[in-house]
Structure 1
Amino acid sequence: MEERAGVLDDLAELEVFRTLLEPTGIKGIVVDCPDCDEEHHVDWALMQANLRQLLEEGQTGRHEPPFDPDPDDYVSWDYASGYADGIAAVADREEPGGEGRGGRHARDD
């Protein structure tokens, strides 16, 4: 149940990241693959599908990465999380009575 809750949290965060970053031209997330020791550039929809498949089946299948992706079009999960935290902090400061509650999307791990 704890792992399921973590994946559900990841799905919610991913939607926030996509909402904030897609309009800026970012196409998805880059992840380090421990199996092949390479970076994989995963677009927003595929990342969402992977997480949903993980919820439903307990694992993800193999997917073809984009052909010749431009690394500048993808960000790490940590970058996306920091970006979302920055946007939230600015919104908190601009909100009347905003106390700057800190990062809402920062991971504890």
Structure 2
Amino acid sequence: MGPFDDLPGPDSGSTPSDPPPLTMEERAGVLDDLAELEVFRTLLEPTGIKGIVVDCPDCDEEHHVDWALMQANLRQLLEEGQTGRHEPPFDPDPDDYVSWDYASGYADGVAAMAEREEPGGGSTGRHARDD
């Protein structure tokens, strides 16, 4: 069986099945991811970081996804319950992309520094997702 064998042909009369809608919990998680992505982009894009690197379980390779495409993927996931396949950037420089965990840690570090600089600020050990 080839990769296109499960796609309906013009004579099949069938359409690919739609994914089940996201649960409320899944939708909330995607909305949280969108909010975090915006924070990451705001903090990291000025430093030259172009986006997020994602480990792909399908091909066992890293995909370098720029900020706008990652945002579009998350919005598509919200609207359609799945993301489409997108062409990866041609010959990306891995140094221009960071993992989600790195971006989250960076945001946490910036927040901690800002908190320390506030009058009466102290460390609360909060994570970006706790906001």
If the length of structure 2 is used for normalisation, what is the TM-score? 0.78
Q: Which structure has the greater CA radius of gyration?
A: 2
CA RMSD of aligned residues (A): 2.1
Equivalent residues, number: 108
- Following superposition, the deviation at residue 19 of structure 1 comes to 0.1
Paired position in structure 2 for 1:104: 126
Offset at 1:27?
0.0
Alignment partners' CA distance in 1, 2:86 and 2:101: 22
In structure 2, do the counterparts of structure 1 residues 101 and 54 end up closer, same or farther at CA, with 3 Å as the change threshold? farther
Counterparts of 2:130 and 2:57, CA distance in 1? 21
> 2:130, 2:52 → 1: CA distance?
19
Q: After TM superposition, give the deviation of residue 101 of structure 1 in Å.
A: 4.3
Identity of aligned residues (%): 95
Runs of 4+ in 1 over 2 A off after TM superposition: 100-109
Q: CA shift at 1:97, angstroms?
A: 1.4
Q: What 5-or-longer segments of structure 2 have no aligned partner?
A: 1-23
Q: 1:71 to 1:8 in 2, by over 3 A?
A: same
User: Match for residue 88 of structure 2?
Assistant: 65
Unaligned residue ranges in structure 1 (runs of 5+): none
Output one character per residue of 1:41-89: Cα deviation in whole Å (capped at 9) or x when no partner. Answer: 0000000000000000000000000000000000000000000000000
TM-score normalised by L of structure 1 = 0.93
- In 2, are the aligned partners of 1:7 and 1:51 still within 8 Å (CA)? yes
Task: Assess if the C-alpha contact under 8 Å between 1:13 and 1:105 holds in 2.
Answer: no
**Quick one: structure 1 residues 34 and 24, their matched pair in 2 at CA, closer, same or farther if it must change by over 3 Å?**
same
After superposition, give the CA deviation of every residue in 1:23-47 in whole Å (9 maximum; x if it has no partner): 0000000000000000000000000
Kept after mapping to 1: 8 A contact 2:36/2:129: no
